[in-house]
Amino acid sequence: MSPQIIDNALGAVGNTPLIRLDKVAAQFGLKCNLLAKVEFLSVGGSIKDRIAKAMIEAAEKEGKLIPGQSVVIEPTSGNTGALRCYSQFTENDVDHGFTGIGMAMACAIKVTLNPSFAEWMLNTIDKGYRCIITLPNKMSLEKEAALRALGAEVVRTPTEAAWDSPESHIGVAQKLKRKIPGGIILDQYRNVNNPLIHETTTGPEIINAVVSTPSTPARPSSGKVDVVICGAGTGGTITGVSRSIKKTHNKECIMVGVDPKGSILALPDTLNAADDGAQYVVEGIGYDFIPDVLSRDPADVDSWVKTEDDESFAAVRILMRSEGLLVGGSSGSALSGAEKWFKTEAGQRVAQTEGMNVVLILADGIRNYMSKPWFLSMALEAEPSELASNIADALKDE
């Protein structure tokens, strides 16, 4: 379909492309197709845009959010690994993939959901929501800047406050909710709209892209989504995508979950035991409790792989340098998880079968991590000396 005018930025949430990773596939010696669902191309820059939009729209429909009146309050932090390093934080203290940006964006936009004429007359002029994000002090300035640029108010909270203390960003958010008329906290860990939006958008988009790309001698395709490899934070993505693909498209599709060492989301539990308490820096995936929205049904997630920081960051570099994709750390985890899975028995069979379609979900881009040491050291790494001297030679006076 040729591009059309869309009503506002929320219309540019999701609908992301599936991009071939041919160079990586060649590097890994794969005969199957390796495809990436590139979520940083969503308007807010991450897969989390989808749930922010979905939770806000659902709350509007349920009458819990009233345009122009409600105040969306979101305790957010965005980093399990760092929080583990600051061990006073646990559980709910984490906002995977930084839903805050998506929330702030959705709140900034004047939402008009099929209003009746009377509602339209009464409400249409200024329907945005006030948005307050509570954020521990240690969270990066680039995240605060993006939130405030979108018009959200940011309340910083002491990093040392335990998650269940009144001073923590959770405690402060709850207090604000009690005190500010119209305050509401949407809960991504329990909100059914989290997995549901992936079942109704992310999954079908993957299916459509695969089904509508013809198989040719140069680019053979099974015509099906055969494998999906995806990190889990709240688990909304993997649960929803699995339901969509297995229910409506290919019940044999193999869903592979990626979980960092130190997190406990993987099944069977023995996979987690060896690294109990390990710390990790990759953001957006992994947890130290099981969120309600993550399916524990083995029929939904067929197998799990555990990943490490170093491998994930090395894989980010591959995605950047070989495929030109400026992704965040967890996308590296998805790729390094894939590399590991391809070494399993099931993985080897897929790897060696021409035309099978393996989809990696790359959840976000590098924007929120530009100042992180892991990225800067990778990006600014010195060029090999022969290249550097080649430039120096070229610049010498003739």
Q: Is the dihedral of CA 288, 299, 333, 103 positive or negative?
A: negative
Phi, psi of 282 (to 5 degrees): -55, 135
Q: Which is nearer to ligand PMP, 51 or 71 (CB)?
A: 51
DSSP state for residue 6 in the 8-state scheme = -
Interaction between residue 286 and ligand PMP (CB under 6 A): no
Q: Does 232 bind ligand PMP (CB under 6 A)?
A: yes
Q: Which is nearer to ligand PMP, 70 or 237 (CB)?
A: 237
Q: Is 49 in the site for ligand PMP (CB under 6 A)?
A: no
The residue among 180 and 374 lying less far from ligand PMP, judged by its C-beta, is 374
Query: Does 139 participate in binding ligand PMP (rule CB under 6 A)?
Result: no
Could you tell me the smallest distance in angstroms from the CB atom of residue 188 to ligand PMP? 7
Question: What are the C-alpha distances in Å from 37 to residues 17, 207, 235?
Answer: 6, 11, 17
Ranges within 145-204 binding ligand PMP (CB under 6 A)? none
Which residue among 40, 327, 364, 369 contacts ligand PMP (CB under 6 A)?
364
DSSP bridge partners of 155? 134
SS3 64: coil
47 near ligand PMP, judged by CB under 6 A: yes
Q: Which residue, 176 or 267, is less far from ligand PMP as judged by CB? A: 267
Q: How far is the CB of 213 from ligand PMP (least distance, A)?
A: 23
Residues 228/257, Cβ–Cβ less than 8 Å: no
The binder of ligand PMP chosen from 237, 242, 272, 307 (CB under 6 A): 237
Q: What angle do CA 371, 50, 184 make, to 5 degrees?
A: 90
236 near ligand PMP, rule: CB under 6 A: yes
Smallest distance from ligand PMP to CB 374, Å: 14
Q: Quote the CA–CA distance of 159 and 354 in Å, as a whole number.
A: 51
CA distances from 78 to 84, 97, 272, 311 (A): 12, 6, 22, 21
By CB under 6 A, residue 285 contacts ligand PMP? yes
* Contact call for residue 242 and ligand PMP (CB under 6 A): no
Q: How far is the CB of 190 from ligand PMP (least distance, A)?
A: 12
Catalytic residue, candidates 48, 53, 143, 372: 48
Residue 130 β-bridge partners:
71
Q: Name the minimum Å distance from CB 149 to ligand PMP.
A: 20
Point out which span in 1-9, 61-69, 202-210, 230-238 binds ligand PMP (CB under 6 A).
230-238
Question: Any contact of residue 231 with ligand PMP (CB under 6 A)?
Answer: yes
75, 74, 92, 70: which is closest to 83 by C-alpha? 92
**Structure tokens that stand for 110 in this block:** 């004047």
16 binds ligand PMP (CB under 6 A): no
The binder of ligand PMP chosen from 10, 33, 48, 263 (CB under 6 A) = 48
Report the alpha-carbon distance of residue 304 to residue 258 in Å, rounded: 6
Query: Which residues in 321-360 contact ligand PMP (CB under 6 A)?
Result: 328, 330
Active site residue 48: yes
- Residue 30 DSSP symbol: -
The string of DSSP letters for 273-334 reads: HTTTT------S---SS--TTS---TTT--EEEEE-HHHHHHHHHHHHHHH---B-HHHHHH
Decide whether 253 or 256 has the Cβ nearer to ligand PMP.
256
Q: Are 139 and 283 in contact (CB under 8 A)?
A: no
For ligand PMP, the closer of residues 14 and 235 by Cβ is 235
Q: Are 37 and 18 within 8 A, CB to CB?
A: yes
Which residues make up the interface to ligand PMP (CB under 6 A)? 46-48, 96-97, 230-237, 283-285, 328, 330, 361, 363-364
Return the active site residues: 48
